[in-house]
Structure 1
Amino acid sequence: MNRTLVIGDIHGGMRALRQILERANVTKNDMLIFLGDYVDGWSQSPEVLDFLMHLSTQQECIFMRGNHDDLLREWLGGKDNELWFQHGGEATIKAYATLSEETKKHHVTFLESLHNYYLDAKNRLFVHAGFTSLHGVRSEHFPRLLFWERTLWETALALDPNMKTDNPSYPKRFGLYDEIFIGHTPVTRIGETIPTQRANIWNMDTGAAFLGPLSILDVDSKEFWQSDPLPSLYPEEKGRN
């Protein structure tokens, strides 16, 4: 059976990534869609990027661009960012200290190849953060918002769950796509630790950067699998707690 599986924010948690791929019994017949933020937080950001690059040679993978991935790309290009250092970048800088320039160049090439969004044949949108344009992602005037903005999810949280889609007040952005899969804003902020749906939006960031697990979800059946909470997989580290 060919499945389409979507994976939430990894944040350097290579051990968690291996766990969910095993628990979901992922095979080479499965299509994998990664929502971004592969780096920052736990200590194995370089290993995650190496693994993803290799995985893409074995099966179909689509990689979104996360804000942390873009910050790493900028840093590898010589741009310092103190705020990034304080929000997960410190662990990444330490992890890159012993890597060769050739490896860093390979990582830059991968980071530059990431997609801002992916829209499949069933009108399902996959994007790291969200979008603001009422005409959809293709009309987003500021592409960086696709991996930085939070209003899409905040609007979904504030929406009356009983509101019908034909209500004039129903957010126009939501109606552009059959389903929208995002990461970026941990659902742990609303007390959840599993993939969470609001309206037609599925948030896959289950807090792997902090105290939560990493998650993978079958986009058709909505069955999902999770790793152990990341602190238990990295007891020697503090992560971004």
Structure 2
Amino acid sequence: MRVLAIGDIHGGLKALIQVLNKMEVKDEDTLIFVGDYVDGWSESAQVVQFLIDLSEKIKCVFIKGNHDVWCEAWLKTGDVNPTWYMHGGKETIESYESFSEIDKKRHLEFFESMPLYYIDDENRLFLHAGFTSMHGVEKEVFNTTLYFDRTLWEMALTMDKRIEKDSVIYPNRLKHYYEIFIGHTPTINFKCDTPMHAVNVWNIDTGAAFTGKLSGINVNTKEVFQSDNLPSLYPNEKGRNR
């Protein structure tokens, strides 16, 4: 059985289909998505519907990202968060124009059912952004940290690789998990369009919301699967490239 993790999709259904096809997903596989299914390209509602249908055939874990929190709030109340609207919400709202109220209710239930993190049997942690508690995600005080934090990744990037895990100065929050898989902070910010690895943290958001690609990774072998660059799949759109 393979465990496959997939980065931030941001409404790029074409990219998602490309990655799944390259993975040659089988019924016995487990797919773990690290969040941000919506906001960016024109097919956010279509991505959500596709994932709901996919989960009926294959074991899937859907982590909630910050953009999913915003979309969930809109589906629930109809209120439009101004920050969300400027960062992809407009395109997401437009993608729902052909969806019925029944469809929207089902999508709301989908968002509401998402966990903020997942720990598998190998003690690998999957979450959208990061955490700050030295005692691990279970002790995080504010849920928002789990889908907004960037300090975990910043810390991992700047750590001296010579520091051993049993050292007294090795960060306690990294000791809790064998590996940590995150999204949220695009690797293209660091001039890299493939998943990045620092200490025991893997960042698999390769900038699909912008000029990058959608990436998936086999968490056991670290084989990477990628789509084309999103602007080439949606040539008449800007995504979040404002």
Query: Which letter maps to 1:222?
Result: K
Query: 2:6 maps to which residue?
Result: 7
TM-score calculated relative to the size of structure 1: 0.97
Q: Distance in 2 between matches of 1:80 and 1:21?
A: 32
Query: 1:215 maps to which residue?
Result: 215
Contact 2:16-2:214 within 8 A present in 1 as well: yes
Query: 2:41 maps to which residue?
Result: 42
Cα offset, 1:158, TM superposition: 1.6
More moved, 105-114 vs 137-146: 137-146
Query: 2:52 maps to which residue?
Result: 53
RMSD: 0.9
Cα offset, 1:170, TM superposition: 1.6
Contact 2:46-2:95 within 8 A present in 1 as well: no
Q: Distance in 1 between matches of 2:37 and 2:132?
A: 24
Query: Which letter maps to 1:126?
Result: F
Cα offset, 1:139, TM superposition: 1.0
Aligned pairs, number: 240
TM-score calculated relative to the size of structure 2: 0.97
| Residue 73 of structure 1 pairs with residue 72 of structure 2 | yes
Q: Distance in 1 between matches of 2:58 and 2:149?
A: 30
Query: 1:18 maps to which residue?
Result: 17
**Structure 2: runs of 5 or more not aligned:** none
Cα offset, 1:115, TM superposition: 0.9
Query: Which letter maps to 1:99?
Result: F
| Residue 120 of structure 1 pairs with residue 125 of structure 2 | no
Query: 1:234 maps to which residue?
Result: 234
Query: 1:153 maps to which residue?
Result: 153
Alignment of 1:85-96 (within 5 A): 85-96=85-96
Report runs of 4+ in structure 1 exceeding 4 Å deviation.
Answer: none
Alignment of 1:60-209 (within 5 A): 60-77=59-76, 78-209=78-209
Cα offset, 1:169, TM superposition: 2.0
**Structure 1: runs of 5 or more not aligned:** none
Query: Which letter maps to 2:73?
Result: E
Q: Distance in 1 between matches of 2:163 and 2:190?
A: 21
Q: Distance in 1 between matches of 2:188 and 2:161?
A: 20
Secondary structure of residue in 2 paired with 1:102: helix
Secondary structure of residue in 2 paired with 1:202: strand
Cα offset, 1:97, TM superposition: 2.6
Query: Which letter maps to 1:228?
Result: D
Q: Distance in 2 between matches of 1:93 and 1:81?
A: 12
Q: Distance in 1 between matches of 2:157 and 2:224?
A: 21
